[in-house]
């Protein structure tokens, strides 16, 4: 049965390596017959969460910017995929800001069940994406019906286009096919 897949790309670089990894995942998910939408944080206005928790009562953030539209897309997706470059062994700041701004999902009847992480970094150690994966797991832990289903990491990827031919592209494609 086809699933509604939302891929959120968080790199602000045009034609970024994490965007390419997301494209591979999307192609696999599309081939498997899923409905796939990709949303980029490039060009979006997303302010920091103020911690006012008004969203817990209203189901919507009081800050009127692009985060509310993206949060609605997350709410209605069955599968959420985050794609990020790794900065200082952690997810990008814009990804963390979007996760924080999606706090209004907590009291709502969200549809997502499966969450994935796609990441790239200049360093290639096995540990490089652990903190980013831990951050995604922390977000997932707040949603009892959701599960962190998997991740793909591409190391030794820094310069634009460096991901070309990287084995992680095939891994992301295959993971997307399994959605």
The tens digit of pLDDT for each residue in 22-49 reads: 999 999 999 999 999 999 999 999 999 9
pTM over 0.75, yes/no: yes
How many domains in the chain?
Answer: 1
Nearest by Cα to 158 from 13, 17, 10? 17
Q: Which residues constitute the domain of residue 111?
A: 4-177
Q: How far apart are CA 72 and CA 11, in angstroms?
A: 20
Tokens at 15, concatenated = 């034609």
Q: 């897309």: which residue's tokens?
A: 73
What is the CATH number for 24? 3.40.50.360
Beta-bridge partner residues of 116? 81, 150
pLDDT digits (tens, 9 = 90+) for 46-83: 999 999 999 999 999 999 999 999 999 999 999 999 99
* Cβ proximity of 163 and 157 under 8 Å: yes
């Amino acid at each position: 049965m086809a699933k509604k897949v939302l891929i959120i790309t968080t790199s602000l670089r045009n034609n970024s390596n994490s965007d390419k990894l997301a494209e591979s995942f999307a192609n696999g998910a599309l081939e498997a017959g899923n409905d796939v939408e990709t949303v980029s944080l490039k060009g979006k206005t997303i302010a920091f969460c103020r911690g006012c928790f008004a969203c817990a009562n209203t189901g919507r953030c009081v800050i009127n910017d692009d985060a509310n539209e993206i949060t609605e897309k997350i709410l209605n997706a069955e599968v959420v995929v985050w794609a990020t470059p790794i900065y200082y062994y952690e997810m990008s700041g814009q990804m963390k800001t979007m996760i924080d701004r999606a706090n209004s999902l907590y009291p709502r009847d969200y549809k997502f069940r499966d969450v994935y992480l796609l990441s790239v970094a200049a360093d290639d150690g096995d540990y490089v994406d652990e903190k980013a994966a831990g951050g995604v797991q922390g977000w997932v832990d707040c949603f009892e019906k959701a599960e962190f289903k998997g991740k793909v990491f591409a190391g030794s990827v820094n310069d634009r286009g460096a991901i070309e031919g990287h084995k992680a592209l095939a891994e992301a494609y295959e993971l997307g096919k399994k959605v």
